[in-house]
Amino acid sequence: MTIHENYSLRKLNTFGFDVRAARFGEIRSAEEIPLFLEKFYRQEEPLLILGGGSNLLFTRDFPGTVLRISLGGITLVEEGEKEVVVSAGAGVIWDDFVAYCVSNGWGGLENLSLIPGLVGSTPIQNIGAYGMEAGETVREVRYTEMETGRQQVISGTQCRFGYRNSIFKHELKEKTIVTEVVFNLIPKKATEAREGLKLDYGHIRKELEIMGVSDPGIREVREAVCRIRRSKLPDPAVTGNAGSFFKNPVVTAEKADTLRSGYDCMPSFADPNGIKIPAAWLIEQCGWKGKRFGDAGVHINQPLVLVNYGQATGQQILQLSEQIRRSVLDKFGITLESEVVII
Ligand code: EPU
């Protein structure tokens, strides 16, 4: 493995910030990981494991080693009557994996189409969209334990998936390198019988209608989700962004009732932990939608997404996010939590 010094991360973070890593290396086989750890783990300098760089905000040059995990490969492990078991290397591009599964007729991931990033990050933040979460289909996650260099396996249940949450953000935070994720998917026969489709979130049904589809299968759902995302969300290849910058806050039923008495148009959704209020709505109510300050801005179609129109720095985006956070707190008494990891 080659280690580069003073390496530009501009193409490796979807905000497109031109920050540099003191050292950069790329892992192309799981066997290289223990060798790498022996050399670089436990040193004074920090270590950052990089996936697709689609959920990160770099506010400065990184003073340590950035390690990109480029472990490829998709394997059909088992094809049964009730489920298909498919495994993917952590470095596989998430949407390539979804496309591959959909083209084979395997269901369970189609609503997660076009989410930027790599397979290895999906269990960490339990990516979710249009009524589906990756965690629902994760059978197990294979990872290297950084402390020992040993390969470990954890089941989907042990991952304790929640809304943009998992064990990898708690007990296992910064202790693992995910190498492979194994998924339980819905077999072709079942998806052909239209089993397991999730069509009730947001505009999926409406989009299928526009497409002229009356009997959708997973291919059509993927297409509908791609069309919705392309129309609403900025393409990071064109405009730097990291998807939703904040999580949707969950408040108590009492708090939601109090807010509703002041804002009867407030959208809200039931959540296992209370009432979820769309952060996009809170931010829009505070007047931020479509605002731009130099090259840092709040997206015009989806105010939950902060964008770099060209030359913005991570510090500028961070400052903007702090101003948004403060105004939502002042107006609604709700503290927005970042979804994006700030470095
Ligand atoms: N809304 C507004 N104004 C807007 C846009 C939305 O008030 O300009 C309100 C509406 O009430 C709308 C609600 O927000 O019904 C929800 O909007 P949307 O369906 O766009 O979803 P979201 O809750 O804002 C979440 C995920 C997205 C995911 C979408 C679709 C989080 C933090 N974000 O956004 O994920 O694509 O649902 O399922 O949960 C990401 O994580 O990077 C991401 C893009």
pLDDT per position as a tens digit, 223-278: 999 999 999 999 999 999 999 999 999 999 999 999 999 898 999 999 888 999 99
SS3 state of residue 312: coil
Closest alpha carbon to 104 in 135, 130, 79: 79
Residue nearest to atom 20 of ligand 1 (CA): 302
Read off the pTM.
0.92
Gap between the Cα atoms of 227 and 204, Å rounded: 10
- State how far Cα 172 lies from the chain centre: 18
Gap between the Cα atoms of 24 and 44, Å rounded: 16
* CB contact burial 223-238 (16+ within 10 A = b; e otherwise): bbbbbbbeeebbebee
Q: Is the separation of the CB atoms in 239 and 309 below 8 Å? A: yes
User: Strands of 151-155's sheet, edge to edge?
Assistant: 74-79, 84-89, 176-185, 138-145, 151-155
pLDDT per position as a tens digit, 58-111: 999 999 999 999 999 999 999 999 999 999 999 999 999 999 999 999 999 999
Helix 94-103, helix 218-232: angle, nearest 10: 150
Run of H or E residues at 296: strand 296-298
Run of H or E residues at 262: helix 253-262
The Å distance, Cα 130 to ligand 1 centre, comes to 9
Q: Is the separation of the CB atoms in 335 and 273 below 8 Å? A: no
Given the residues 68, 139, 164, 222, the one annotated as active site: 164
The Å distance, Cα 301 to ligand 1 centre, comes to 10
* 133 given a catalytic annotation: no
Tell me the CA distances in angstroms from 159 to 30, 167, 191, 194, 221, one per residue in order. 21, 5, 26, 29, 27
The Å distance, Cα 30 to ligand 1 centre, comes to 36
How far does the chain reach from its first CA to its final CA, in angstroms?
25
* 244 given a catalytic annotation: yes
The more confidently predicted of residues 273 and 143 is 143
What single-letter DSSP state applies at residue 118? B
Ligand 1 binding site (Cβ under 6 Å of any ligand atom): 129-130, 202, 243-244, 247-248, 267, 278, 280-281, 284, 289, 302-304, 339
